[in-house]
Amino acid sequence: MINIVLFGKPGAGKGTQAEFLKEKYNLVHLSTGDIFRANMKAGTELGNMAKAIIERGDLVPDEITTNMLIDAVNENPDAKGFLFDGYPRTNGQAEALDAFLESKGTEVTATIALEADDNILVARLLERGKTSGRPDDQDESKIRNRYQEYNEKTAPLIDYYTNQNKFYPVNGIGEIADITERLSAVIDQLEPKQVWK
């Protein structure tokens, strides 16, 4: 089983790239954003809690996020592997994911980070906000607050995965197809290669 963590700030292109990668490598794409939005749309108790937190520009607490993600993994018992998009975001989540995957006899294979300049990403999100209808994409101060949260809570994951020799930074600026190629080059050199055949 191959499990990829796709890493990057809001607007870095994780969702766009995940669509290509899940098809190419036959992975189940689990986006915490999609999971939250599905809960919010359904008006679940969890969804309403997450909505209030997200609209403030804050990150949803680890325990809620982890339990939702574990449920999503368990709903896909025949998966060849997973593409985690937006999770883990903290060391606590990373440790919880490691423990959960270990209980299933697997592990995170690699963490790939899409790297891009904050100002470029802010412009991208404000543009997306014109059509996405997402309030958190329409307010620059909220966007920059998300980046501050990211830097404080998520950036330490770089050390966490680097210490496991599983961290791979990739330039996230350029044409979509070029970025996909860079990501594929990293995944293609991972073991076990027979999974891709």
Sorted by sequence, the CB contacts under 8 Å of residue 134 that are 6+ apart come out as 128
Q: What does pLDDT average to over the chain?
A: 87
Could you tell me if residue 108 is left (phi over 0), alpha (psi between -120 and 50 degrees) or otherwise beta?
A: beta
In which band, very low, low, confident or very high, does the pLDDT at 148 lie, cut at 50, 70 and 90? Answer: confident
Q: State which fold the 2-189 domain adopts.
A: Rossmann fold (3.40.50)
The answer to pTM > 0.95 is no
Tokens of 64: 């809620």
Q: Which of the residues are catalytic?
A: 14, 89, 128, 134, 146
Q: Is the pLDDT of residue 1 over 80?
A: yes
For 108-137, the pLDDT digits (tens) are 999 999 988 888 888 888 888 888 878 878
Q: Is the pLDDT of residue 88 over 60?
A: yes
All structural domains of the chain with their residue ranges = 2-189
For 31-87, the pLDDT digits (tens) are 988 887 887 898 878 788 888 888 888 877 888 888 888 888 998 999 999 999 988
Span of 76-80, 91-95, 145-149 with lowest mean pLDDT: 145-149
* DSSP result, the chain: -EEEEEE--TTSSHHHHHHHHHHHHT-EEEEHHHHHHHHHHHT-HHHHHHHHHHHTTPPPPHHHHHHHHHHHHHT-TT-SEEEEES---SHHHHHHHHHHHHHTT----EEEEEE--HHHHHHHHHHHHHHH--GGGS-HHHHHHHHHHIIIIITHHHHHHHTTT-EEEEE--S-HHHHHHHHHHHHHTSSPGGGG-
In which band, very low, low, confident or very high, does the pLDDT at 192 lie, cut at 50, 70 and 90? Answer: low
Q: Is the pLDDT of residue 165 over 90?
A: yes
